[in-house]
Amino acid sequence: MNDLTIVFIGLGVILYFFFVLGTVRLAIQKGQNGLLWFLVSLVLPPVAYLIVLTSGKKEKTETQPAFFENIIMELTQPFIDLSNTSRALLGVNISYVLEGLTYFGVLGLLAIFFNQYIGLDDIEAGRMVGILTAGITIAMLFLGATVDWIGLRKSLLIALSLMLVGRILLAVSPDVGVSGLWGSSHLFAMLGIFGIILGYGIYQPACYAGVKQLTNEKTSAMGYAMLYALMNLGGFLPGIISPPVRKSFEITGVFWVYAVLTVVGIGVVYFLITKKAMQKAMSDLNQNEESKNVEQESKEEKGFKLFVRAFKKQFNEKKQSSITAIIIFIFLLLVVIVKEFFAASFISNSFNDNVILSSLFGFNWFIALALIGLSILIYIITDLRFFYFVFILIFVQTLFAHNWLTIPQYTSRAFEGFISDNFEFFVNLNPILIFILTPMITALTSKKDTYNMMIIGTAVMASPTFILVLGPNFNTLIAYIIIMTIGEAMWQPRFLQWVAEIAPKNMTGIYMGIGQFPWFLTKVITSLYSGWFLMNFCPIDTLPSEMNTETMWLIYGFIAIISPIGLLVAKKWMKKGFKTKA
């Protein structure tokens, strides 16, 4: 029964939110005071729900806050719309919540899996997680167009099949051959990761393309909101499913459960997103061939040709600095070639006794060179202000990456008892809080200046990292998760809004796409150093009293706080002139 405690707690959290939000939505629809019933439902959720459900409809009072209504309706509308959507779109959404559950469930356990079952240290385990998360970003870039070539149904089936093979390989890898770095178990696990990367690179773009295809101008916002809501719900569910399974069947058992859920996802796509269901959904939307042709022409106009044309234009406008950047890149390329091919053994022997230098010189510098090359490309094709903006956010975005690179190990090693036994619940608490807090905070701050919200939001997100400096205990952990999530909800939705505002005329699409690159960079960079910090400040098989997690979080706090400070320092320059917006 103790193993099921976290399941009851998780289900209790879901039911609590259901009764609270359901009560307030019904009250608003019946013209009653939603804010009053919200306060009542916080204390007596089931009772308040039954009272409002059986009460009569009244005229709506004028004293009820409009923004409060918008918050509640925005929170609950996606789930109401889910029951009224087409069969094909329903299939996309059910598949998406199952895949969200599976992906985040595997991600939260992956580094620990490589520690315990493949025999890698924290540094190498972190890099494996970085390969998965960064690899998916790259795969989406190259495989995202698959849905345009073979259609939604085939794309989803192929993507889920690839991920199924990948998850099976992960689950069986500890039993295949020898453990350790580049052992047969490690190679099988890497093949599993590769399958997941390929599958997810097709899957997520296909889901978003499916929503676009199965909705029209009036319902598209609903479709994307539904996908966002279900993604967060799926991201929370591993916290209540994983602990009891892991305690009974270990992490490999959890991976097998997620493999079975992937099979269920394949079944959902196969039986719900049929050719007949797609035809009916498209027919209901009254889409005609002319609108498709217009859409295709729009894609061609805004595709790779526009990117090349923008690159040529920007290169000519700042030719001197662009040439300088290219020369620096060529010089760095020569340095990397010498280091990797001619001086590798010398460097390895020279710095073998120094942990920091051996880690710095130990990894492949071609990875860093590729990131620098992409950064130079972004600098050339955009302006300096945009370049500064997206890269200054990398520091606070490292906290996102720590959700799966550090928090799982921190909660399982530095804590004892309930938190350590059920660490997945705390690792996956962020998605459900984001789902609840984002519309609330958005409604409260919608009239605030975008850039100011970016400064405040990143500061709020970075600040609770210093709370963890007080040491590992339940109160500091919960405070960190809640305050960090509030900060995320304050600035993350404003990010693309500011990118759109800062983009020159006719370059909004390019800026939007490039704006995602620093997130990819964050995944790579954080995975390169997070393992070293764990090994030195939160090592495995060490008593919590002998760890030094306080120093680790202090350093991470100083890293994260650079973002709001950098945004504040550059405020006047960043906000100077927005006369030509896209």
Decide: 35 and 64 in contact? Cβ < 8 Å.
Answer: yes
Q: What DSSP state is assigned to residue 61? A: P
User: Does 241 share its domain with 214?
Assistant: yes
556 phi and psi angles, rounded to 5 deg: -65, -35
In a domain, 409, yes or no: no
User: Does 158 share its domain with 204?
Assistant: yes
Q: DSSP string covering 367-395, please?
A: HHHHHHHHHHHHHHHS-HHHHHHHHHTHH
Interval 209-239: pLDDT, tens: 888 888 877 777 677 777 777 888 888 999 9
Compute the distance between CA of residue 424 and CA of residue 151 in angstroms, rounded to an integer.
36
Interval 94-138: pLDDT, tens: 999 999 999 999 999 999 999 999 999 999 999 999 999 989 888
In a domain, 447, yes or no: no
In a domain, 250, yes or no: yes
Q: What DSSP state is assigned to residue 4? A: G
Which is more confidently placed, 449 or 110?
Answer: 110
Choosing from 260, 287, 314, the residue where a domain stops is 287
User: Does 115 share its domain with 183?
Assistant: yes
Compute the distance between CA of residue 138 and CA of residue 202 in angstroms, rounded to an integer.
11
User: Does 314 share its domain with 165?
Assistant: no
* Euclidean distance between the first and the last CA atom of the chain, given in angstroms as a whole number: 58
Q: What is the pLDDT, as a whole number, of residue 297?
A: 40
Residue 296 binned pLDDT confidence (cut-offs 50, 70, 90): very low
User: Does 232 share its domain with 98?
Assistant: yes
User: Does 112 share its domain with 21?
Assistant: no
Whether residue 579 is predicted with pLDDT greater than 90 in this model: the reply is no
User: Does 218 share its domain with 136?
Assistant: yes
Interval 314-361: pLDDT, tens: 778 778 888 888 898 899 889 888 877 777 666 666 666 665 666 666
Sign of the alpha-carbon torsion through 448, 504, 400, 240: positive
User: Does 335 share its domain with 275?
Assistant: no
In a domain, 555, yes or no: no
Domain of 174: which CATH number? Answer: 1.20.1250.20
User: Does 110 share its domain with 143?
Assistant: yes
Residue range 24-29: average pLDDT? 87
> Would the pTM of this model clear 0.75, i.e. be above it?
yes
In a domain, 57, yes or no: yes
**Segments forming the whole domain that contains residue 270:** 86-287
Residue range 199-206: average pLDDT? 91
Q: What is the pLDDT, as a whole number, of residue 36?
A: 87
Choosing from 313, 338, 373, the residue where a domain stops is 373
User: Does 323 share its domain with 242?
Assistant: no
The three-class DSSP label of residue 79 is: helix
Residue range 414-427: average pLDDT? 92
In a domain, 189, yes or no: yes
307 burial class (0-12, 13-18, 19+ CB within 10 angstroms)?
middle
In a domain, 443, yes or no: no
Residue range 420-427: average pLDDT? 92
User: Does 36 share its domain with 144?
Assistant: no
In a domain, 224, yes or no: yes
Q: What is the pLDDT, as a whole number, of residue 77?
A: 75
Whether residue 307 is predicted with pLDDT greater than 70 in this model: the reply is no
Which is more confidently placed, 15 or 83?
Answer: 15
Q: What is the pLDDT, as a whole number, of residue 500?
A: 67
221 burial class (0-12, 13-18, 19+ CB within 10 angstroms)?
exposed
Q: What is the pLDDT, as a whole number, of residue 353?
A: 66
User: Could you give the count of Cα atoms lying within 13 Å of 232 in the half-sphere of its Cβ?
Assistant: 21
Tell me which H or E stretch contains 358: helix 355-362
User: Does 51 share its domain with 98?
Assistant: no
Most confidently modeled of 174-188, 269-283, 424-438, 459-473?
Answer: 459-473
Q: How many CB atoms lie within 10 A of CB 315?
A: 15
The fraction of the chain above a pLDDT of 90, given in percent, is: 38
For the chain, the residue count is 582
Instruction: Give the residue among 438, 419, 460, 487 at the shortest CA–CA distance from 9.
Output: 419
Choosing from 373, 397, 426, the residue where a domain stops is 373
The count of domains in the chain is 3
At position 437, the amino acid (one-letter code) is L
